[in-house]
A = this chain, B = another copy of it.
Amino acid sequence: MKVRRSERLIDMTRYLLERPHALVSLTFFAERYESAKSSISEDLTILKRTFQMRGTGILETIPGAAGGARFIPYILKEEAQTFIDEMTDLVADKSRVLPGGYIYLSDILGQPEILRQVGRVIATQYLNQKIDAVMTVATKGIPIAQSVATYLNVPFVIVRNDSKITEGSTVSVNYVSGSSERIKKMELSKRSLSEGANVLIVDDFMKGGGTINGMKTLIEEFDANLIGITVFAEAAFTGNRLIDDYTSLLRVTNVNDNEKAIKVVPGNYLETVFGAEV
């Protein structure tokens, strides 16, 4: 039975949103809805316009009978700015300050609606780059990696500090923890990454940059390529930071454990992604 336009639009929206960056053919939709390809083409034009108008993303349409559509989610500058401002306020809460100048973020990074936006924000930065895998280190980077990977529709891989039998053979590297200056070890399952893979590193929090530097070394060990580094929050750090080319959504400029004071400002994300005049 032929499906009406209204029903097609609803189901196509869901179908495309669930498969970012994947090319879905006109033929597939035409068969799914028992409708003419010309009708599907018209549907896609409406979808494209609506996605653009609402800041949902780009619907790339490939014309012709062999064509189709590819949904590329993004966030517009204004919405990203609003979100980063909200996060700035949420993190800048005295009760989050922990001994040693650490900050409690687990509640924030356990909320699906926040993680969805964090993923969308970070994925927007790498919209036009070929990413094969998102990499993070256990534990708190995982939800961010998963959300970014969902928007980019690529796998994510988890580097671990502890050796687990369930990972099989691993490649391990030593790294210097930038903030504590201790030598640590991190490892990644051998099967996780292919040679030549383009890797995006994400993490929740960066202080000295030692952990991220360790992941960079791991990427080299796998003969893979580092495409970029984006963290949710970077901390004020007075020592010699090991990483300089990175993007942050938030920057914690001042944490005082004794006075339980904390100051948070937007990181360099908006400037990096949307240009200087922020």
Contacts and interface: CB of A to CB of B under 8 A. Distances in A.
Contact of A138 (B102, B139, B189): B139
Interface in A170-208: 189, 191-192, 205
Given A146-B143, A165-B100, A46 B10 contact: yes
B166 A113 contact: no
A100 B192 CA distance: 21
A11 B50 contact: yes
B11 A54 contact: yes
A98 interface: yes
A135 to B, nearest CB: 10
Interface in A55-77: 56
A177 to B, nearest CB: 13
Interface stretch (A84-92, A148-156, A220-228, A265-273): A148-156
Given A5-B6, A98-B168, A153 B112 contact: yes
Contacts of A191: 104, 106-107
Nearest to A165: B102
12 contacts: A7-B46, A10-B10, A11-B50, A13-B13, A104-B167, A104-B168, A106-B167, A110-B158, A110-B192, A112-B154, A138-B139, A166-B205
Given A18-B116, A110-B156, 11 more contacts: A6-B46, A7-B53, A9-B9, A13-B13, A14-B54, A98-B166, A106-B166, A106-B191, A107-B191, A107-B192, A142-B142
Interface of A: 5-7, 9-11, 13-14, 17-19, 46-47, 49-51, 53-54, 56, 98-100, 102-107, 110-113, 115-116, 138-140, 142-143, 146-147, 149-150, 153-158, 160, 162, 164-168, 189, 191-192, 205
